[in-house]
Chain A
Amino acid sequence: MLLNSVILVLQETLEAAVLISVLIALGRQQRHAPAWLVCAVAMGLVFATLYAMNIGIVSGWFDYVGQEVVNALLQILIVVCIVVLFWAIFHLRPIEPGGQKSSATAWFRFFAAAIVALAMTREGSEIVLYLGGFLHQPDKLPAVLIGSGIGFGIGLSVGLLLFYAVTGLARPRALRVAVYLLALFAGNMLAQSVMLLSQADWIAAGPALWDSSAWLPERSITGRLLYALVGYEATPSKWHVISYIAGFMLVVAVALHGARITKGRLMAPADQA
């Protein structure tokens, strides 16, 4: 029970830890104070608890596939928020030409907080449900709580390591790394939403495009870690792969296009006036 708690909580925490650490590093790179995180985590905890408490009602929607539809919607919203975040970073100037503070900070805070709160709602609700199930089993509760604590601690440590790794890089490189890490996250979110909609039979489930389970099984520790970090699937369908690439490319394209505009703006002195 203890080991299972470690793995389960680590798997759910890892995704959020990576996301939060990259967003704080990105905010720091953009010189935004991380105060938004407190609000985001608080909202995430409240939404996760509310979602967990009402999971029975949500599951009953749309002929018992409401959970898939809501989760897919949460994940699509995360992708939209990541795209808007990078649009704001590249298209809004941190300081207006007149010296006034621009809306860039407000945009960053709002969308970074929304991404964290949405991600925590989905992942956190599973932890709340898991732990809630043991509240009436006092014999198992201590082992489950210790295991969950260990899993949470490991997840947090990986997040911290990643944060220092990204912030330790030079500014332009840190931004580039954050773009690619969040692009991977967006690809994973979009691919997972496609998988959920096919589970709900809202979209057709296609055959597996390849099978790498003999080479790297999903149930192995490495497979599970890679699943949590980058959405590794041993037998992905065609639509799973297409949606992953689409989510990844969308974020990279917005960032590359924005970077080109920013560069052009810096090189045009007339625009600075």
Chain B
Amino acid sequence: MTGKWLPRLGFMGALYCQSAAATPPLLEIEIRDHLFFPDVIVIPANTKVKLLIKNLDPTPEEFESYELNREKVIDGNSRAVIFIGPLPPGTYPFFGEFYPRTAQGKVLVE
């Protein structure tokens, strides 16, 4: 039994290490007065990234990007997580669907 279990534990350990090593980098974006801060974020190519979006406005906003294939409503005074990538190099605009005239930004993948 031990002979069977030891390699399995080793495999599980390897998986755990791999997932720990693969923890995506975290980037924060704030929404204030229907504007994104920062409005340009730079991320590495072919890497998954975790976006933490804090909506500091009292009104809800919808983070939307056709190029990133992402959309999510963020209630007023609350936060949301969106995973993006891995992506090839390029420019990926995003906007706030509820206030699109001001809430504009882009992800630069390099």
Contact = CB atoms under 8 A, between A and B. Distances in A.
B5 to A, nearest CB: 29
A201 B73 contact: no
Given A67-B80, A201-B83, A59 B66 contact: no
A81 B97 CA distance: 30
Contacts of A125: 73
A207 B47 CA distance: 12
A93 to B, nearest CB: 43
Contacts of B67: 213, 235
Nearest to A8: B97
Nearest to A11: B97
Interface string A196-223: 0011110001010000010001110001
A271 interface: no
A59 B83 contact: no
A64 B73 contact: no
Contacts of A15: none
Nearest to A67: B72
Contact of B100 (A4, A195, A199, A233): A4
Contacts of B59: 133-134, 136-137
Pick from B78, B80, B88 the residue with the most CB of A within 10 Å: B80
Interface string B62-90: 10001101101111101111111110100
A170 to B, nearest CB: 40
B82 A56 contact: no
A130 B80 CA distance: 17
A223 B50 CA distance: 28
User: How big is the A interface, by class?
Assistant: 35 or more
A217 B66 contact: yes
B60 interface: yes
B60 A132 contact: yes
User: How big is the B interface, by class?
Assistant: 20 to 34
A233 to B, nearest CB: 7
Nearest to B75: A56
A130 B64 CA distance: 14
Contacts of B84: 205
Nearest to B62: A126
B85 to A, nearest CB: 7
A234 B100 contact: no
A129 B73 contact: yes
B72 A205 contact: no
Contacts of A234: 66
B37 interface: no
Nearest to A5: B98
Contact of A133 (B48, B78, B79, B98): B98
A45 interface: no
Contacts of B69: 195, 199, 233, 235-237, 240
Interface string A47-76: 000000001100110011101100000000
B4 interface: no
A55 B72 contact: no
Interface in A91-129: 125-126, 129
Contact of B80 (A64, A195, A198, A217): A64
B62 A198 contact: no
Contacts of B82: 199
Contact of A64 (B76, B79, B97): B79
A198 B70 CA distance: 9
Pick from B58, B59, B67, B81 the residue with the most CB of A within 10 Å: B81
Contacts of A129: 60, 73, 75
